[in-house]
Amino acid sequence: MTDWINRHQLAVFVMTCLLILFGGNELMSRWSHRLPYRRKLVEIAHTSNANLLFVGNSLLDGYIDEAKLESAAYQHGVILRGLNAALGATQPPEQELLFEDAIEHQPSLRTVVIGAYDLQLTSDVPTRVDDLVGNRMVAIDSVFSMREVQAVYRFDPGQKLAVELMRALPLVANRGSAWRDVEMLRRRMAQVGMPPVATNSMGRAADFDALEAGSVTKFDEEVQQFLSSQQRFNSPYRSILQQAHDHGLRVVILIMPTSPFHRQTFYARPSWKEYLEALRKMAAEEQITLIDASGWMSDPHDFVDHLHLAPRAVGAFSTTLGATLATVPTS
């Protein structure tokens, strides 16, 4: 009798755990639909008749005023209908996935603009499974097949199994996103009665300092490593460029506007001039237009940190960009 009771209690316990697991997974899956990367996927799927695609990270995500860009291009006799597939807090592999999703949903695309800064186009950024949190979760979203994901990340068998587990268990995959909301609440409470801190559209400006090179010495070293090696775009961008050419898209590389501080600290250096010249040569060989917009915005107040535009500068940047893109040859 006692054995039966123990088995019954164990069965109830196991069933309760399974119900919590499945229920938690279902709730987390529905909750994840409000995350930024999910909204970006919806935007890509439901935008109509886009012929201009933007690919990039937080320097471009949310920093295009499509109406002003299209109006400026129209004044030059060119019709542009933009779709901004750039997504903040992503690396080139996620941008490749978003690009592939866009060319699948948008048959009218004619041009892709890749927004970049510093050595983003050529530096390899190894990805671990643990890195696939926040907006990088796009890699484990069911909209992409495991075959597509594996083609981008080239995970080893153990990593591939871990990714498949995360895709099957949203409760595991969304752990970082859930803690993000907890951290945001903690920060708001910690700021009560304290002096205000600098912020941008994505949170505290200080959180984005890591996007810059740690020092000019490190910056110079990374440039020299590139110049002394086989000069080429990194794997995700090589794939984007190849697919763009296969689909008959013209490609534009846009060196994003950066603050006067960033330009004086890094772009005024001989190493950057050498790097940019090498990049121009690579672009010319691939029949790619390179637009250096790094100095377009000269007022420090046009930036909320060293890299991201302030809201007041988005309109002017978009107008200039629209007029510039209208002059890019179509072939």
H-helix or E-strand containing 111? strand 111-116
User: Which tokens sit at 199?
Assistant: 């912020």
Q: Tell me the pLDDT band of 141, cut-offs 50, 70 and 90.
A: confident
Please state the rounded mean pLDDT for residues 104-114: 97
pLDDT digits (tens, 9 = 90+) for 48-82: 999 999 999 999 999 999 999 999 999 999 999 99
Q: Tell me the pLDDT band of 205, cut-offs 50, 70 and 90.
A: very low
Q: Provide CB contacts within 8 A for 223, sequence distance 6+.
A: 119, 271, 272, 274, 275
Helix-helix angle 36-46:92-105, to 10 degrees: 30
How far is 291 from 54, CA to CA, in rounded Å?
Answer: 14
Provide the percentage of residues in the chain whose pLDDT is more than 90.
65
The more confident residue out of 124 and 203 is: 124
Q: Would you say how long the chain is, in residues?
A: 331
pTM, two decimals, is 0.83
User: Which tokens sit at 55?
Assistant: 């690919």
How far is 98 from 112, CA to CA, in rounded Å?
Answer: 12
pLDDT at 29 over 90: no
DSSP 8-state assignment for residue 310: P
Let me know: does 250 contact 241? Beta carbons within 8 Å: no
DSSP 8-state assignment for residue 264: I
Q: Which residue has the tokens 């004619």?
A: 110
pLDDT digits (tens, 9 = 90+) for 286-323: 999 999 999 999 999 999 999 999 999 999 999 999 99
The pLDDT, as a whole number, for residue 42 is: 93
How far is 241 from 249, CA to CA, in rounded Å?
Answer: 9
Q: Tell me the pLDDT band of 329, cut-offs 50, 70 and 90.
A: confident
Q: What angle do CA 37, 86, 147 make, to 5 degrees?
A: 60
Phi-psi domain of 124 (left: phi exceeds 0; alpha: psi -120 through 50; beta: other) = beta
Q: Provide CB contacts within 8 A for 270, sequence distance 6+.
A: none
DSSP 125-168: ----GGG--GGGGGGGSTTS-HHHHHHHH---HHHHHHHHHHHH
Helix (H, G, I), strand (E, B) or coil at 250: strand
Worst-scoring range by mean pLDDT, 7-21, 102-116, 177-191, 264-278?
A: 177-191
The gap from C-alpha 173 to its chain's centroid, in whole angstroms, comes to 18
Please state the rounded mean pLDDT for residues 144-161: 94
Tell me whether residue 105 is exposed, middle or buried, using C-beta atoms within 10 angstroms of its C-beta: 0 to 12, 13 to 18, 19 or more.
middle
Let me know: does 198 contact 305? Beta carbons within 8 Å: yes
The pLDDT, as a whole number, for residue 258 is: 97
Q: Which residue has the tokens 């100095």?
A: 295
Domains of the chain, with CATH numbers?
36-125+202-325 (3.40.50.1110)
The pLDDT, as a whole number, for residue 7 is: 64
Q: Provide CB contacts within 8 A for 212, sequence distance 6+.
A: 118, 262, 266, 306, 307
On the CB side of 86, CA atoms within 13 Å amount to: 22
How far is 170 from 192, CA to CA, in rounded Å?
Answer: 34
Let me know: does 58 contact 212? Beta carbons within 8 Å: no
What count of other Cβ atoms lies within 10 Å of the Cβ of residue 149? 22
> Across the chain, what does the average pLDDT equal?
85
pLDDT digits (tens, 9 = 90+) for 218-277: 999 999 999 998 789 999 999 999 999 999 999 999 999 999 999 999 999 999 999 999
The pLDDT, as a whole number, for residue 19 is: 56
Worst-scoring range by mean pLDDT, 2-11, 172-181, 236-245?
A: 172-181
Q: What angle do CA 55, 277, 246 make, to 5 degrees?
A: 40
